[in-house]
Amino acid sequence: MSGGVIGILSAFSFCAGGCGLLRDVVPAGPNDTQASFHDDYGLNISYPEVEAIASNDRDETVAVLQPFSFEDPATLPTLELSLHDAVRQALTNRPVLRRAGSTFNARVTPQAVTTRFDPGLTAASIQGTEAALSAFDAQYRQQLSWSKSDTPRNQQQAFGQPSVLDADSALFNGELSKTTATGSSFALRHVANYRRSNQGVGDGFDFRLFPSAFTGWLEAEWRQPLMQGAGTNFNRIAGPNARVGQYNGVLIARINEDVSLADFETGVIQAVADVEQAYWNLVTSYRLLDTIVKAREAALQTWQIQKARLDVGTGRADDEAQARSQYYQFDAQVKNALAGQGGLYESEQQLRYLVGLPATDGSLIKPTTEPTGARVIFDWDSALAQALQRRVEIRQQKMQVQRRELELTAAKLNFQPRLDFLGQYRYQGIGDHLVPGFYENMFDGNYQEWQAGIELSYPVGFRAAGSAVAHAKLSLRRELALLDQTEYQVSHLLSNAARDVETRHELMETNYNRLQSDLNAVDVLRIRYEQGSDSINFLLQAQRQVVNSASDFYRSLADYNLAIRNFHREKGSLLAYNQIKLSEGEWEKGAYRSAHQVGRYLTPRKNADAVTVPQGFLSRPFDPSDVQSTIPESNTGDQSGVIGDRDFAQKVEEVAVSPLP
């Protein structure tokens, strides 16, 4: 112990003296007359000044009271909470999805949590559709510059001085360009040049029309790829002007957003599973505490009876010591079940953390949803088909397969030459003034030019394009193999979950029958002990056995309900099972106003069916909250999926809420 303390202190001393080590490495020079700025300030550790944001979570953080330890739960005010309300409260208006174990068994890792901002962050990043669509936005470029020339020339003037070219010039170049989904690019350019110079003045060779002139043109250009880069299919996948092997089109960006939504759905599923786990743990903690408290009361009565017999001389001292020892044993178990690790207060605080309540607010959560003991039977063929369709991991992997298929399509389209058609039309103009001289002359249309042709370019051998196609094929085969493995793993996990449901129910029935037998044994042995016809050892052993069997029964009851949860989780229907629906939140007010303004300039097409649009890559929308049947179609009875021995289920629920004798 002392060695550990010394090690910690030594490490702390090293860290605290780290700044001084720099002075030893870089000693003061002979001309240094003052201390370095870094000696006193630059190497100091600073604390960030961040203004705390007002939120419900912060209010619940600063409002924590002193935690409970050994207070009697019966004397505390209760907060009744059903499982449905616990799940709803954990997901409603909570920007961060909390995970079990984050408070006690793990370090704080803000970067590893899931928040409701994650899908929006992906959509607003360079991987989102808006960033991909921005490649088709109209672009405007402009250049405006002035220059002055004062250049001596190799020409002699009077007094032996060289002639000088004196010129003033200005340049304006503006362009508005637009790339379309078919790969076409349109551009409208305007160039205006101004020049005034002394060229030709005084030497008799000045043939200029104007001493200072504006010249330029207005041109329109259309460039249409005919092979590589042509068509909506390529441009929706790779994006316009994409390099070989790079794919950042709209369809790829859409898949990025869908993958982010799937990650968020995975976080919600995990959060719901953790809440249900914590809820049933708290229910079990209540039952275990109640069981041990009643066992302690029974042990106290036995001890009192044996002590009274010892006082009157009819009892034995060793029997009284055994009864007293068992009482204190149960008393220690009560304290541990109340405030120990995994006890009532810790389980209650774990649920508080997940649902977003303060760690301690003076009240105690009381679960109101009782665990079910009815046998649940699922139709295996229907459950397996739903798992292969609904599991978020399978859907996410299918998105990756879709991405690789699109990339392979774009890679094959890149494996061809670049052949573009180019057309230009230009209006030329000249004038001594900008307006109306230059522009009036240009728009008169007296000087018109045009150009049309094709441009061909390609890398000899197509080595990069060939590598991109090979890489896309291998990536597609890899994702398909991972999809097969994911489906294979899901089938195994679902099989284990189905077996676990049946096993947990059988164990619950066995533990129920065992508990009933132990209760009957205690009743018989108590009567025989009070009559003096049997030893106290048998009664004490029977009391301990009742505690063990009752604890096992309550744990098996919770495990059975968790097994049902696990089956729904493996089947991909946990959100539907808990009546949870994922939907997009409200937009900002500015977004509604902008959409309204844009909508005023849009009119519906008169014949919308005749409009040709590119085919989408999603077969149909999928809602993980849709409820689907999980029982055989031939079963026309109860459509809840819960069938079996109703009488036994009623008995289990009665035992779960009734006190022990």
Q: Which pLDDT tens digit goes with each residue over 122-132?
A: 988 888 999 99
Q: What is the pLDDT of residue 68?
A: 75
Q: What is the pLDDT of residue 28?
A: 64
Higher per-residue pLDDT: 256 or 618: 256
Model confidence at 16: pLDDT above 60: no
Instruction: Indicate the pLDDT class of residue 211, thresholds 50, 70 and 90.
Output: confident
Model confidence at 360: pLDDT above 90: no
Q: What is the pLDDT of residue 205?
A: 62
Separation of alpha carbons 414 and 246, rounded Å:
11
Model confidence at 461: pLDDT above 80: yes
Tell me what percent of the residues of the chain surpass a pLDDT of 70: 79
Q: Which pLDDT tens digit goes with each residue over 592-614?
A: 888 888 887 777 777 777 766 65
Backbone angles phi, psi at 180, to 5 degrees: -100, 170
Burial of 519 (0-12, 13-18, 19+ CB in 10 A): middle
* Lowest-confidence region among 167-181, 184-198, 352-366: 352-366
Is the CB of residue 334 less than 8 Å from the CB of residue 328? no
Instruction: Indicate the pLDDT class of residue 105, thresholds 50, 70 and 90.
Output: very low
Burial of 657 (0-12, 13-18, 19+ CB in 10 A): exposed
**DSSP label at 531?**
T
The pair of structure tokens assigned to 363 is 């009240």
Model confidence at 142: pLDDT above 90: yes
Model confidence at 431: pLDDT above 70: yes
Instruction: Indicate the pLDDT class of residue 40, thresholds 50, 70 and 90.
Output: low
The DSSP secondary structure of 242-254, one letter per residue, reads PPTT----HHHHH
Largest CA distance in the chain: 150
Q: How far is CA 293 from the centre of its chain?
A: 44
Tell me what percent of the residues of the chain surpass a pLDDT of 90: 43
Instruction: Indicate the pLDDT class of residue 631, thresholds 50, 70 and 90.
Output: very low
The pair of structure tokens assigned to 358 is 């303060």
Q: What is the pLDDT of residue 38?
A: 58
Q: What is the 3-state secondary structure (H, E, C) of 64-85?
A: CCCCCCCCCHHHCCEEEECHHH
Higher per-residue pLDDT: 565 or 95: 565
Q: Please compute the mean of the pLDDT values over residues 38-59 and round it to a whole number.
A: 62
Separation of alpha carbons 649 and 644, rounded Å:
9
Q: What is the pLDDT of residue 597?
A: 82
Instruction: Indicate the pLDDT class of residue 186, thresholds 50, 70 and 90.
Output: very high
Q: What is the pLDDT of residue 305?
A: 87
Higher per-residue pLDDT: 421 or 612: 421
The pair of structure tokens assigned to 413 is 């389209």
Separation of alpha carbons 467 and 470, rounded Å:
5
Is the CB of residue 247 less than 8 Å from the CB of residue 233? no
Instruction: Indicate the pLDDT class of residue 102, thresholds 50, 70 and 90.
Output: very low
Separation of alpha carbons 347 and 284, rounded Å:
9
Instruction: Indicate the pLDDT class of residue 359, thresholds 50, 70 and 90.
Output: confident
Instruction: Indicate the pLDDT class of residue 586, thresholds 50, 70 and 90.
Output: confident
Model confidence at 156: pLDDT above 70: no
Q: Please compute the mean of the pLDDT values over residues 223-231 and round it to a whole number.
A: 92
Backbone angles phi, psi at 163, to 5 degrees: -75, 155
Instruction: Indicate the pLDDT class of residue 21, thresholds 50, 70 and 90.
Output: very low
Instruction: Indicate the pLDDT class of residue 505, thresholds 50, 70 and 90.
Output: very high
- Smallest Cα–Cα separation from 353: which of 164, 86, 593? 86
Higher per-residue pLDDT: 619 or 538: 538
Rg of the Cα trace of the chain?
41
Is the CB of residue 629 less than 8 Å from the CB of residue 377? no
Is residue 449 within a helix (H) or strand (E), and if so which, with residue range? strand 448-457
Q: Please enumerate in sequence order all residues whose Cβ is within 8 A of that of 249, keeping only pairs 6 or more positions apart, or say none.
A: 132, 235, 236, 237, 238, 239, 242, 410
Q: What is the pLDDT of residue 358?
A: 85
